[in-house]
């Protein structure tokens, strides 16, 4: 189960009221869904490390035209992340520069009242608008629509989704990328439950709830992935687009549904153990409401997939 702050964020991001339970009102976002114009705006800059990072098995064009490099677009939906945003961007830039992969960071701010947008603009000035893309929205909308919105502007062929609250550490991204290349996986998911994955800052009660929920999920859904509610993942862009079209839940049930649907469509899922550091800033509580909505989402997936 994800951190509570994340669950809260997921719950906050979705507008209640007119949306019936467990159905995301994609509405106009769906009808407006198009493949982003990635071909037109692919970066033409050739970094010195391109030679050493050749994707295994793709031959060079004999005419000397270099094959298109892989580009990784990181989608960062934010809401009130003024404190954390500079830090997460700094860590992302550090991680990508050290590993040499081509990247861009797309910040999707939902009209945060705390000045997140200002900070984002400063970061854009510092790191350049080819690396930091600001694509804000007027108000809090769903996480799924944030991804769709972000993908429209993404010029990469891989999409990385993660939390902006420092619970996910960008140092794992190169591992995701390596894992993806290893098996040509359609999705690589960070897992807290396998290998040397783990968490920091959870008390016993939280751990019990998390493991218990995961156990029930494994029994009922048999998903083939150990961490279903995690949201630190690498997707091939077309895979993410297809999955979002098909998903109807919201919050962290949405993350579960993505994996379940991926299995339905026979996509391959690889896993990388990650460490999840909770409560860097502020308190988080897991309320009864969240547990109930999780169970409702789980049973809906059980009955419909």
Binder among 33, 134, 248, 277 for other proteins (CB under 8 A): 277
* Torsion, CA 167, CA 282, CA 79, CA 18, rounded to 10: 110
Cβ burial, residue 196 (10 Å; 0-12/13-18/19+): exposed
Interaction residues for other proteins, span 146-175 (CB under 8 A): 166, 169
Contact between 304 and 253 under an 8 Å Cβ cutoff? The reply is no
For other proteins, which is the closer residue by CB, 9 or 168?
168
Least Å from the CB of residue 117 to other proteins: 14
| 90 forms part of the interface with other proteins (CB under 8 A) | yes
| 246 forms part of the interface with other proteins (CB under 8 A) | no
Convert residues 100-119 into a mask of x (bound to other proteins by CB under 8 A) and - (unbound).
Answer: -------------------x
| 86 forms part of the interface with other proteins (CB under 8 A) | yes
Contact between 212 and 227 under an 8 Å Cβ cutoff? The reply is no
Least Å from the CB of residue 109 to other proteins: 16
- Residues 184 and 52: their CA atoms lie apart, in Å, by 19
The stretch near other proteins (CB under 8 A) out of 14-22, 130-138, 201-209, 234-242 is 201-209
- Residues 225 and 271: their CA atoms lie apart, in Å, by 7
| 254 forms part of the interface with other proteins (CB under 8 A) | no
Binder among 48, 196, 282, 288 for other proteins (CB under 8 A): 196
Binder among 49, 208, 292, 295 for other proteins (CB under 8 A): 208
Pairing of strands 132-134, 187-191: unpaired
Residue recorded with tokens 């007027």: 138
| 134 forms part of the interface with other proteins (CB under 8 A) | no
198 forms beta bridges with 275
269 forms beta bridges with 187
Binder among 33, 134, 248, 280 for other proteins (CB under 8 A): 280
Neighbours of 45 (CB within 10 A): 8
Tokens of 70: 């892989």
* DSSP class of 54: P
For other proteins, which is the closer residue by CB, 136 or 273?
273
Neighbours of 267 (CB within 10 A): 18
For other proteins, which is the closer residue by CB, 78 or 145?
78
- Residues 205 and 101: their CA atoms lie apart, in Å, by 40
Applying CB under 8 A, what is the total number of residues that bind other proteins? Answer: 39
The stretch near other proteins (CB under 8 A) out of 59-67, 69-77, 182-190, 218-226 is 218-226
Interaction residues for other proteins, span 16-75 (CB under 8 A): none
- Residues 224 and 132: their CA atoms lie apart, in Å, by 34
Residue recorded with tokens 């919105």: 149
Contact between 189 and 271 under an 8 Å Cβ cutoff? The reply is yes
- Residues 305 and 294: their CA atoms lie apart, in Å, by 16
Binder among 204, 266, 282, 283 for other proteins (CB under 8 A): 204
| 248 forms part of the interface with other proteins (CB under 8 A) | no
Chain residues binding other proteins by CB under 8 A are: 86-87, 90-91, 119, 122-123, 125-126, 166, 169, 193, 196-202, 204, 207-208, 210-212, 214-215, 220-222, 275-277, 280, 301-305
């Amino acid at each position: 189960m994800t951190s509570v702050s994340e669950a809260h964020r997921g719950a906050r991001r979705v507008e209640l009221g007119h949306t019936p339970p467990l159905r995301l009102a994609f509405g106009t976002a769906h009808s407006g869904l198009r493949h982003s114009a990635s071909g037109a705006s692919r970066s033409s800059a050739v970094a010195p490390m391109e030679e050493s990072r050749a994707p295994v098995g793709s031959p060079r064009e004999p005419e000397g035209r270099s094959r298109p490099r892989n580009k990784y677009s990181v989608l960062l939906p934010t809401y009130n992340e003024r404190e954390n945003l500079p830090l997460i961007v700094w860590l992302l830039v550090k991680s990508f520069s050290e590993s040499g992969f081509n990247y861009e960071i797309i910040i999707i701010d939902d009209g945060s009242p705390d000045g997140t947008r200002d900070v984002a603009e400063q970061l854009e000035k510092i790191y350049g608008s080819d690396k930091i893309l600001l694509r804000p929205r007027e108000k809090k909308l769903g996480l799924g629509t944030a991804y769709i919105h972000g993908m429209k502007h993404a010029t990469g062929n891989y999409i990385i989704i993660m939390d902006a609250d420092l619970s996910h550490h960008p140092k794992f991204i190169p591992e995701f990328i390596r894992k993806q290349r290893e098996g040509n996986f359609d999705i690589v998911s960070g897992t807290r439950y396998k290998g040397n994955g783990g968490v920091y800052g959870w008390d016993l009660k939280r751990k019990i709830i998390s493991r218990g929920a995961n156990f029930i999920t494994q029994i009922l859904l048999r998903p083939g992935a150990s961490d279903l509610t995690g949201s630190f993942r690498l997707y091939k862009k077309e895979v993410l687009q297809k999955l979002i079209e098909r998903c109807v839940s919201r919050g962290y049930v949405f993350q579960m549904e993505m994996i379940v649907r991926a299995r339905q469509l026979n996509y391959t899922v690889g896993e990388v153990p990650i460490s999840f550091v909770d409560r860097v800033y502020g308190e988080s509580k897991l309320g009864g409401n969240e547990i109930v909505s999780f169970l409702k989402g789980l049973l809906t997936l059980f009955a419909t997939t």
